[in-house]
Amino acid sequence: MKNMIIASTSTLHGSGYLTYLLPTLKVHFKNVKELLFIPFARPGGISYDDYTSIVKKVFSVLGIDVKGIHEYKNGEKAIKNAEAIFTGGGNTFELVNQLYKTDILNTLRQVLEKGTPYLGTSAGSNICGVNMMNTNDMPIVYPPDFTTLGCINFNINAHYLDPIEGSTHMGETRETRIKEFHVFNDIPVLGLREGSWLEVNDNEVILKGKLTARLFEKNKQPIELESRVVIKF
């Protein structure tokens, strides 16, 4: 029943917020009149109201009204009654912290499993995996648990970056960090590049966009997945 868009980013270089995804979202959210927005990730420390205003402006182009979950007295009830849900990007640690603090993580999982249309970008995509341990974000807060929605049976590394040829940077690459993760964990990790997204229809997961994605599994060489491939484990 799952009906999800899991995108690496909300904004491509040189374009507006969600602009590159609007044709897809027009189809994904057809017949939706009101969208529930979860602004907990707070990119740059922005307020919930300001973040929701940005999203409201974009979705007005599609004829969809937006209301932030913080505007409701009962967040669990808001999720259960939502026509559709969008969780925006920002800091994954704070996002997960608030999902636990407000006790809505399990409710969110339940409605997504039943088919409520969902969009996640960046941090909002990281939470779709088994856990949040492949985020690139700084641990500015400490959530009670790293376990997330588990709507897909692998983890997402959003904004995946390849090593830059000729760079003198001596820090670890994304690939190195993911290899470190696999010393202690068996969960596959998908490096999702900017401009790529996953379409989840029930248990079918399809890579979309023009770019490949890099798949990491423990004790295996990483491989490149072509766009439109069905990802299975």
pLDDT in tens, 151-187: 999 999 999 998 777 666 656 899 999 999 999 999 9
- The pLDDT value recorded for residue 70 is 98
- The pLDDT value recorded for residue 170 is 57
Catalytic, out of 159, 162, 169, 202? 159
- Check if the beta carbon of residue 200 is closer than 8 Å to that of residue 151: yes
Residues of the chain with pLDDT under 50: none
User: Is 182 annotated in the active site?
Assistant: no
- In 29-91, alpha helices (H): 48-59, 75-81
- The pLDDT value recorded for residue 180 is 97
Q: Domains (ranges, CATH) in the chain?
A: 3-231 (3.40.50.880)
Task: Judge residue 210's burial from the number of C-beta atoms within 10 Å of its C-beta, 0-12 exposed, 13-18 middle, 19 or more buried.
Answer: exposed
Average pLDDT, the chain: 96
Structure tokens at 43: 């990119």
User: Is 122 annotated in the active site?
Assistant: yes
Catalytic, out of 8, 10, 70, 137? 137
User: Is 186 annotated in the active site?
Assistant: no
Catalytic, out of 8, 10, 122, 196? 122
- The pLDDT value recorded for residue 178 is 98
Is residue 37 classed as helix, strand or coil in its secondary structure?
strand
Predicted TM-score (pTM) of this structure: 0.96
Residue 17 CB contacts under 8 Å (≥ 6 apart), including other chains: 10, 11, 54, 55, 58
